[in-house]
Structure 1
Amino acid sequence: MLNSIMSFFNAPVSNKVPTGVCNVQGLYEYITTNPRLRELTEQVRSVADDKQEYRRRKLAWLPYVTPAGVFSYCKGSGLLVPSGLLVVDIDHLASLKEAEDCRDRLAADPMLNPDLAFVSPGGRGVKLFLSYRIMPEETLSQTFGNAVQAAWSYLELQYGLQPDKANKDLCRGCLLAYDEEAKRMKN
């Protein structure tokens, strides 16, 4: 679903009004080439061992998107158009190298077939954007919830990974990080 659109938000994360919209291809280009995002990511990662300062910086400095769709305001009732995407966040990997290896392994998985995979802001995690089919006989919330649960179960069973359970909400934002080796689904 390379044309799936989502809202883009400037930092800080407390900003709930979107700046604009983007699609997966545009987002891929942004996270792999933007020099300002590169600088911010380096500054956030430089304090990754200081949990309080790391959290403060990433929430104050990094832009974010709502992979689940376009929102007028970042809250559940603000959804305007669903994208058919969800984000899975894998945290607490041992190192940047392990995160890069995990990103590459998951990006190559034919069952997951992620639209986008990149290393998270702290450098010890992976963000996956996965497509799901919106089912007309279910509410969007039910379809989204079922897709999230299926992705989590697959990652736990196939790879022994424990995804961050905070990403179960349709309106959940995803902080962006520079990753020139990010992977995207091929056309």
Structure 2
Amino acid sequence: MITKQHILQKTHYGLKIFAYILRQYYPKETVLRVSANKCRPTYNPFSKHQRKTLQIKIVNHCATYIDLEDTIYKGDVFDFAQLYFKVDTDTELELLLKINDTLHLNLETKLSRYSLRQAYIQKYLDMIPDTKWEPRFSYFSKNLYNLIPSRTIGLLDVYQMLTDTSRKYRTAHLRKLSSEKEQKEYKKKHFDYVTFSGVFTRRNNNALRTHSKLLTIDIDGIPNATELMDIKKILLKDPYFPSQLLFMSPRGNGLKWIIKIALDEVSHTEYFQAVINYVKETYTIQIDTSGSDVSRGCLLPYDPNP
């Protein structure tokens, strides 16, 4: 399937797309002069003034642009391509196909069965009225060894719990422990938790009363704080899975991503696997595959910025 990443790889971060579009307007000009990671200012064909005010540079392996005088013109190479091709669609796929065909990139255009299924699922997701959807799930006090829920709560309750400074001490203490074994034992004994995917009579896959239409995705083992923040920004901008809640893991080296799912056509486990495949293929991010159980418990640390 065609993705933005595939196109960027075939077009030198998108510079070839800029060059193609600019040549259509200025066939006798040298439209791009590259120096280091940016180009010298060139003409902006979409601005009225028609001066060399278009600044193109590469940011995070993607060509971006801004008009130095008319800053309403800014974005990445795909935004610029949309100005030219004027693709009338709610999805980005048609634009990517147009770029592929026009620039003769010869990328595979056949949609996979996975992609078709994702589109079908998304159709049902869009039909769920958000105003009537209030997910509820079980809360378990004390520690991970407690299998009987204390009460049923919602996302706002968890948000308030995460930001409560009473959790700060145990979270900080956990992260100071020197060994991974010590950390695992401590968090099992000292953190309460929820089962985001539903309401249970006890924490067991066979004790599910109602599914919440929520799925928990664990991303662990990211020791670099900068990389962790980059992943957080990526997930928040994902076009297919709007984040219902996103917060730091208890040990501070991972994220808990809570998203909305539809179970009309697939099971909880199948959807979990589909999301893993999607995240891996789109962002090359590895997901903890042990979290596929519907009764998976999610520990609640202190996070001032969920």
Both structures adopt the same fold (TM-score exceeding 0.5):
yes
Q: Which residue of 2 aligns with 1:58?
A: 187
Question: What stretches of structure 1 of length at least 5 have no aligned partner?
Answer: 183-187
CA contact (8 A) 1:3 1:23 kept: yes
Q: Which residue of 1 aligns with 2:12?
A: none
CA contact (8 A) 2:250 2:300 kept: yes
2:282 pairs, out of 137, 153, 158, with 158
CA contact (8 A) 2:139 2:153 kept: yes
Q: Which residue of 1 aligns with 2:47?
A: none
Q: State how far apart, in whole Å, the 2-side matches of 1:174 and 1:87 are.
A: 8
Q: Which residue of 2 aligns with 1:35?
A: 165
CA RMSD after TM alignment: 1.5
TM-score normalized with structure 2 length: 0.55
Give 1:59's aligned amino acid: K
1:104 matched to 2:233: yes
- 1:89-117, CA deviations, whole angstroms, 9 ceiling, x for partnerless residues? 00111233432332232122222211111
Deviation >3 Å, runs of 4+: none
Percent identity, aligned pairs only, is 29
- 1:115-144, CA deviations, whole angstroms, 9 ceiling, x for partnerless residues? 111110111101111111121xx5xxx521
Tell me by how many angstroms 1:177 deviates: 1.6
The DSSP-based 3-state class of the residue aligned with 1:65 is strand
The DSSP-based 3-state class of the residue aligned with 1:105 is helix
Give 1:93's aligned amino acid: I
Q: Which residue of 1 aligns with 2:204?
A: 75
The DSSP-based 3-state class of the residue aligned with 1:80 is strand
Aligned residue-pair number: 175
CA contact (8 A) 1:12 1:63 kept: yes
Residue 50 to residue 42, structure 1, CA distance change in 2 (3 Å): same
- The structure with the largest alpha-carbon Rg is 2
1:147 matched to 2:271: yes
Give 2:304's aligned amino acid: E
Q: State how far apart, in whole Å, the 1-side matches of 2:138 and 2:277 are.
A: 27
Residue 146 to residue 9, structure 1, CA distance change in 2 (3 Å): same
